[in-house]
Structure 1
């Protein structure tokens, strides 16, 4: 049991759209990721997903609107809701994700950005 420095952990990787696990809490995982540009439209049938913006501004696209998530804010995407995280103006956004261990990166969607293994850092 030691404190985890989120900013320091973000310095340990450069690859965008590739989450890294920093902790496990019961059946939940805490992930860090760097995002830049547009991801892929997807949903998670059985899992909610929490995004906390550590650095930058995240634009969470939903089919009927886009929600702006500023640094220091969180957004929870409920299970079954199609979404597409995006950044603007070439900005790299750092996020913390909190989700079940069973959550598939892009749900049922298979894409070049889909990851199946989250390295532990």
Structure 2
């Protein structure tokens, strides 16, 4: 795929909350965008780091060792194996960079969990 993308605009156009969409691939990783509000739920990714970049709004990443507060234009990498819970008090648009093997809600399955197939629906458009 060799297409110019506008992550901020794509994230703003999304309807479903906590439903990431793959917008690009980089080697063994996906670049995803999502619109979020409320909380996703506590989970961990045993073997993968997870990069959060804030396109719009604010996001708190709760972790057992302490919380990280992110604003627009800021990023944070949750290290593999760290239990975390992303929380947005107001609507927030995020970009994620994750290995292709990363499961959406890691070691937990909830009503918010999206399969890789669901996340890939936007890749060709």
Q: TM-score range by the shorter chain?
A: over 0.9
Q: Which residue of 2 aligns with 1:115?
A: 114
Q: Which residue of 2 aligns with 1:71?
A: 72
TM-score in terms of structure 1 length? 0.93
Query: Does the CA-based 8 Å contact 2:18-2:35 persist in structure 1?
Result: yes
SS where residue 111 of structure 1 aligns?
coil
Q: Which residue of 1 aligns with 2:8?
A: 7
TM-score in terms of structure 2 length? 0.90
Q: Is 1:80 aligned to residue 81 of structure 2?
A: yes
Query: Does the CA-based 8 Å contact 2:11-2:94 persist in structure 1?
Result: no
Q: How big is the shift at 1:64?
A: 2.8
Q: Which residue of 2 aligns with 1:104?
A: 103
What RMSD in Å do the two structures reach over aligned CA positions? Answer: 1.1
Considering fraction of residues, name the structure with more helix.
2
SS where residue 36 of structure 1 aligns?
strand
Pairs aligned (count): 119
SS where residue 113 of structure 1 aligns?
coil
Query: Does the CA-based 8 Å contact 2:12-2:35 persist in structure 1?
Result: no
Unaligned residue ranges in structure 2 (runs of 5+) = none
Structure 1 consecutive aligned stretches of length 4 or more whose deviation exceeds 4 Å: none
Q: How big is the shift at 1:63?
A: 1.3
Q: How big is the shift at 1:65?
A: 1.4
Alpha-carbon distance between aligned partners in 1 of 2:109 and 2:93, rounded to the nearest angstrom: 23
Q: How big is the shift at 1:11?
A: 3.9
